[in-house]
Amino acid sequence: MGEFTINKEKVLQALSTVEEPDLKKDLVTLGMIQDIEVGVNQVRFTVVLTTPACPLKELIKRNCEAAIHEHLSPDVEVVINLTANVTTSRHSGPLIPGVKNVIAISSGKGGVGKSTVTANLAMALHRSGAKVGIIDADISGPSIPIMFGAQDMQPTITPKDGKNYINPIRQYGIKMISIGFLTPPDSAVVWRGPMASQALKQFFGDTDWGELDYLLIDLPPGTSDIHLTLVQTVPVTGAVIVTTPQKVALADAIKGLAMFKQPQINVPILGIIENMAWFTPEELPDHQYFIFGKGGGQSLADKFDVPLLGQIPLVQGIREAGDEGRPAVMDTNPVVNDAFRDAAESLAQQVAIRNASREKTRAVEIQV
């Protein structure tokens, strides 16, 4: 056998046979391979994933290793370092320049667990290594501060470049701002649409978010002026619709979906999360009782040809943790943790696919 030397080019050639399963292009073309080092019988390189929450990272790693063994040498040791650089499809504009993805979390009707899902998705994304923020724009009951045990905190103001900026609260590693921070906890302020829209604009224009991979927006249930304000103020990467499997919830979720699809709004639907998909008693983690019906989220996803990102069971601990001021994924119930982690990974995956495949989003122009 002739002498075969491994060099960087050969490593790149071998890795150009490995496809990113979602983006359907090879890792070299996608610019995902960095820092190749060739040592004695050893190859090292970094794979830069599109999100730290990538559900396919182990598969990609295995495929890279297999490609090196197949195309270069079966004996070479392969050391792969995985990192992530979350992608964006936003034109960087004057507002929130360091925020890569804005994700609207919406529901057709109230009480389906939209805020609970937002809080836990945020925490699961943060745990994967992403930089995450939340804007709680739910005027019907701003519950994010309570779910994060932050109801008594107050955002501070810092002057910067001749302007006063709001600093988001930081709790459990997540930056957040809520319409609830603008009113004392026990006051009965009734938020009217225009006031809330004004507040939302401030949360984008006058708030120092710094660098974020994902900024989740907890919207009021149904359709409202605030939804319009959101899409007119910043480019929105996509929307997630939270529903329960119940018929009445699904009917409203369809309206919510239809709103985002309207031509003048045109926000891509990243997928559906079915909350309270079944009841699982804490002491019987393998049992599932379909008390609100079964398969509703999947049939909605099928009807609109969008992914079902996750199914979250109804678990007493989810409610208790929320009431006690922490997202339930901070506890150790594997049923809850797995459900939210899977949903967060699917969401991050859809964001990456969307960023790779669609045009950049712009804020919606107001027709006058």
Ligand X SMILES: Nc1ncnc2c1ncn2[C@@H]1O[C@H](COP(=O)(O)OP(=O)(O)OP(=O)(O)O)[C@@H](O)[C@H]1O
Please give the annotated binding residues, written as ranges: 108-115
Contact call for residues 56 and 21 (beta carbons, < 8 A)? yes
Judged by CB, which is closer to ligand X: 24, or 319?
319
Which positions make up the binding site for ATP? Answer: 108-115
Smallest distance, Å, CB 59 to ligand X? 29
> How many whole angstroms from its chain centre is CA 132?
8
Distance CA 346, CA 310 (A): 7
Smallest distance, Å, CB 153 to ligand X? 19
Judged by CB, which is closer to ligand X: 46, or 183?
183
Q: Give the β-pairing of 99-107 and 212-218.
A: parallel
Smallest distance, Å, CB 140 to ligand X? 5
Smallest distance, Å, CB 308 to ligand X? 16
Judged by CB, which is closer to ligand X: 36, or 335?
335
Q: What are phi and psi of 195, to 5 degrees?
A: -65, -45
Judged by CB, which is closer to ligand X: 110, or 325?
110
Smallest distance, Å, CB 211 to ligand X? 27
Give every CB contact of residue 255 below 8 A, 6+ residues apart in sequence: 108, 222, 223
**Which residue spans within the chain are E strands per DSSP?**
19-20, 25-26, 33-39, 42-49, 77-84, 99-107, 132-136, 156-160, 163-167, 169-171, 174-178, 212-218, 238-243, 269-279, 308-314
Judged by CB, which is closer to ligand X: 247, or 319?
319
Contact residues: ligand X, CB under 6 A = 107, 110-116, 138, 140-141, 143, 221, 275-276, 312, 314-315, 318-319, 322
